[in-house]
Amino acid sequence: MAKPTGNPINDKLLEIAAQNNISTVWDRFMEQEPHCGFGTLGVCCKICNLGPCRIDPFGEGAQKGACGADADTISSRNLVRNAAAGAACHSDHGRDLAWTLLELGRGHVKDYSIKDPAKLKKLAVEFSIKIDGKGDLKIAEELGEVILKEYGQQEGELTLTKRAPKKQRDNWKKTNVNPRGIDIEVVQAMSRTHIGCDNEYKHVLESAIRASLVDGWGGSMIATDLSDILFGSPEPIRAEVNLGVLKEDEVNILLHGHEPILSDIMVTASQDKELVELAKKYGAKGINLSGICCTAAEVLMRHGVPMAGSFLQQELAIITGAVEAMIVDIQCIMPSLPEVAKSFHTKLISTSPKAKFVGMEHIEFHEKDALETAKKILRIAIENYKNRNRSKVNIPKEKMTLVAGFTMENIFYNLGGSFRPSYRPLNDAIISGRIRGVAGVIGCDNPKNESGLCHAEMVKELIKNDVLVVQTGCSGSACAKAGLLTPEAAFKFAGDGLKEICETVGIPPVLHTGSCVDNTRILTACCEMVKEGGIGNSIDELPVAGAAPEWMSEKAIAIGWYFVASGIFVVIGTPLRVMGSKNVTNYICNEIEPLYGGKWAFEGDPIKAAHLMVEHIDKKREALKLKPLICAKV
Amino acid sequence: MKKIYCNIKKCLGCGSCEIACAIEHSKSRELNKSIAESPLPVKRRKAEFVEESVSISTGCHHCENAACVTACMSGAMYKDKKTALTQHDKDRCVGCWMCIMTCPFGAVTRLREEKIVLKCDLCPDRDKPACVEACQTKSLFLGTLKEFTKICST
């Protein structure tokens, strides 16, 4: 029996798992405990075959690897490689969208279209494309080409870094981390960390920052903008979350992974009359799509498709016994799924040319015949409905409503109304002291913590202190389950100042802005806040902070780094694996602040971490000489 | 009596037992905090490389006729009558290092600055010693010699 997760829904399904001898992430996690100390501290070096070498953290044994690398070099090199992998994931995600856009423009792809032509034109202009007299598809083709060229660019700078305030850009130039192209920085992060190459830890870490900036201001930002162009810019939308969204009498299909190229077309295909009829023929009332992980966020934001669960709930979703098929693409998909699915009728289908899984059926998905493939996959799922064993079905009752779909653009309207669409009301609310500041709470969920509870606790503490919270990814789903993403949450949990704003505008105190690539919406929102004026001339002067209380993926490391290098204070739940080096830890948690304005902090207690953020925001408010909070508790 | 045994067929010499031991005997008992303590916690176990593909994790064997107990002039090293474990009372230790000289297994560690020795206490606050729990390959085993032999032969 796995350790209780602190979440009654999870625990109930884990009991069923235990009765059926199904091992879940919590069981396997416990088998791994205690985790290897050398690995946790980042002092295990596997880079060359003189090793693997380890540094004794207690000072008695070896203090240097065979090549002479010490804990500083080893832990910083390891961190760089993690960040590079994270940046590679997000940049590849962006690359796929750019490719889809290009193929659409060339007329090779028929199942996609330009859903947000205004944003297409705006982005094309940013990329210096002349749009006069050109049709959308022509612009799409040119934009796709230019963006893909930026992946291979060898000199100069990334177009989208120009969105950043001048001080951030100057900081990057001064510290020599301004990215030249997208792929080059990931490649160079790898080459620099080869044995006997870059060894001075501060210099080594430059590669991590450069690769991460490529993620935030390159790959991820491209992914977000192109997703909006291809699949439509989100608008606030009400939906449901948690495993209770699965239905007893419908064909339940879970979309899991990250890229909307697949999931969005699945939504279109699921509305196909013929397929709905087929579902009815098999005795189901309809087709019920729902999402897991970041794919959930993508289809939630644009179509209001319910979010079944977070990263940690992927196995539990199958254990409900009510899932006909889980369709996956890339990233954060547990290799354990086929083993879990053996006990149920669930069909697992992998689709990405980038990822295959032992025990899953692979139906490769390509943009050219997207709709056709989507329908083929859905048909398999529908035909599987007859195999559902009713005696094994245990759908939890719990579900919660949420409002999602906030973006950098539509937040204008939500804050100012169509009468005054600008960031002015947000900046004014901060200046007048109704809102203390803004915090981004993002990232994965992790069995090291209490499965999502850290997110909700932290966010409750933040909004209680009048901090407006923006969210993405699995953190958003954790807080949605706790009911924090509803306008009503303001009355229940928010401080008086924030409550007043939420009530006037009609927004939740916690805004869901999308998947993990959509963290760039937070970056661009920060740029807009700076542009609007009154709360600082650069991102590092803004009263804002970020947190990933339960981070686990390498992507989270890259995200953290691009926020830190963009001037934002970032608190994470478990430390980065650099604690074996005092120098590296001190550098990234202290010494780096004057260079970039941001820094890292490690705090496992979500309430204490929230207060670190509040203190930081207060420090920034003080530096800006802003008024004290109107509704501050005395 | 129950002791810690190491199955050398499984031991990789990874050193996880050493780290777990040091953490268990630190003030904070947490990895990330313990490495910042002063003085640094000291392990009482060693993962030793023997020869190509052979490693062993060693510590106190709690010998029946313990040489260290016989050699101890201050009575700091003693056999616990109830548990039959070889225990060490650091308040009585004078730092003569005779136990270190006589121990055939090199299981006693010197704390030069404090002028005392340290040795395995089988983690009195835990059900299973920290090193056994931390062993990634389950080569460390807590039990009687009979139980251990049985496990190794299967």
Asked if A248 and A127 sit in the same domain, the reply is no
Asked if A355 and A450 sit in the same domain, the reply is no
Which CATH number does the domain housing residue A473 bear? Answer: 3.40.50.2030
pLDDT at A271: 95
Yes or no, beta carbons of B15 and A54 under 8 Å apart: yes
Which residue from A34, A59, A580 is facing B20, i.e. has the nearest CB? A34
List chain A residues with CB under 8 Å of B22: 58
**For B32, which residue in chain A has the nearest alpha carbon?**
A579
Task: Return the number of CB contacts < 8 Å for A and B.
Answer: 50
Total Cβ atoms within 10 A of residue A73: 25
Asked if A460 and A608 sit in the same domain, the reply is yes
Q: Collapsing DSSP states into helix, strand and coil, what is residue A366?
A: coil
Which candidate, B147, B48, B55, B149, places its Cα nearest to that of B106? B48
Which residue from B18, B35, B43 is facing A580, i.e. has the nearest CB? B35
Q: Is residue A271 part of a domain?
A: yes
User: Alpha carbon A184 to chain centroid distance?
Assistant: 23
Query: pLDDT tens, A306-346?
Result: 999 999 999 999 999 999 999 999 999 999 999 999 999 99
Asked if A260 and A330 sit in the same domain, the reply is yes
Tokens (6 digits) for B7: 């199955």
Range of the domain at A151: 71-231
Test the B interface: residue of A58, A585, A589 with most B CBs within 10 Å: A58
Give the distance from residue B98's alpha carbon to the nearest chain A alpha carbon, in angstroms. Answer: 22
List chain B residues with CB under 8 Å of A58: 18-19, 22, 35, 40-43
Question: Which residues are CB-contacts of A429 (< 8 A; sequence separation ≥ 6)?
Answer: A435, A497, A501
Test the A interface: residue of B21, B35, B138 with most A CBs within 10 Å: B35
Asked if A450 and A352 sit in the same domain, the reply is no
Which residue from B32, B41, B136 is facing A36, i.e. has the nearest CB? B136
List chain B residues with CB under 8 Å of A579: 31-32, 35
Give bridge partners of residue A441 from the DSSP assignment: A471, A547
Query: pLDDT tens, A262-275?
Result: 999 999 999 999 99
Give the distance from residue A34's alpha carbon to the nearest chain B alpha carbon, in angstroms. Answer: 6
pLDDT at A634: 45
Asked if A319 and A206 sit in the same domain, the reply is no
Percent of chain A predicted with pLDDT > 70: 97
Asked if A204 and A86 sit in the same domain, the reply is yes
pLDDT at B136: 87
Is B111 part of the contact surface with chain A (CB cutoff 8 Å)? no
Asked if A470 and A527 sit in the same domain, the reply is yes
Q: What is the overall mean pLDDT for chain A?
A: 94
Q: Which of A346, A372, A392 is where one domain is finished?
A: A392
Asked if A301 and A339 sit in the same domain, the reply is yes
The H-or-E segment that residue A94 falls in is: helix A71-105
Question: Which residues are CB-contacts of A542 (< 8 A; sequence separation ≥ 6)?
Answer: A437, A438, A526, A529, A530, A535, A536, A567, A620
Structural domain count of chain A: 3
List chain B residues with CB under 8 Å of A34: 16, 20, 130, 133-134
Give the distance from residue A72's alpha carbon to the nearest chain B alpha carbon, in angstroms. Answer: 15
Which CATH number does the domain housing residue A121 bear? Answer: 1.20.1270.30
Q: Is residue A294 part of a domain?
A: yes
Query: pLDDT tens, A178-218?
Result: 999 999 999 999 999 999 999 999 999 999 999 999 999 99
Give the distance from residue B81's alpha carbon to the nearest chain A alpha carbon, in angstroms. Answer: 33
Yes or no, beta carbons of B133 and A60 under 8 Å apart: no
Q: Which of A196, A231, A266 is where one domain is finished?
A: A231
Q: Is residue A146 part of a domain?
A: yes
Confidence label for A74 from pLDDT (cuts 50, 70 and 90): very high
Query: pLDDT tens, A285-305?
Result: 999 999 999 999 999 999 999
Asked if A198 and A275 sit in the same domain, the reply is no
Alpha carbon separation from A10 to A24, A214, B26 (Å, rounded):
11, 37, 35
Q: Is residue A596 part of a domain?
A: no
Asked if A380 and A408 sit in the same domain, the reply is no
Asked if A382 and A419 sit in the same domain, the reply is no
Tokens (6 digits) for A320: 């409900």
**Domains with residue ranges and CATH for chain B:** 1-59+124-154 (3.30.70), 62-119 (3.30.70.20)
**For A59, which residue in chain B has the nearest alpha carbon?**
B40
Alpha carbon separation from B141 to B28, B43, B122 (Å, rounded):
26, 18, 12
Is B41 part of the contact surface with chain A (CB cutoff 8 Å)? yes
Q: Which of A392, A424, A450 is where one domain is finished?
A: A392
Is B22 part of the contact surface with chain A (CB cutoff 8 Å)? yes
Query: pLDDT tens, A570-609?
Result: 999 999 999 999 999 999 999 999 999 999 999 999 999 9
Q: Is residue A562 part of a domain?
A: no
* Angle formed at CA A223 by CA A478 and CA A440, multiple of 5 degrees: 35
Is B40 part of the contact surface with chain A (CB cutoff 8 Å)? yes
Is this complex scored with an ipTM above 0.85? no
Sign of CA dihedral A48, A554, A448, A204: positive
Q: Is residue A80 part of a domain?
A: yes
Asked whether the whole model's pTM tops 0.95, one would answer no
Q: Is residue A14 part of a domain?
A: no
Q: Collapsing DSSP states into helix, strand and coil, what is residue A513?
A: coil
Query: pLDDT tens, A411-426?
Result: 767 666 656 678 888 8
Mean predicted confidence (pLDDT) in A377-382:
97
Give the distance from residue A616's alpha carbon to the nearest chain B alpha carbon, in angstroms. Answer: 24
Q: Is residue A8 part of a domain?
A: no
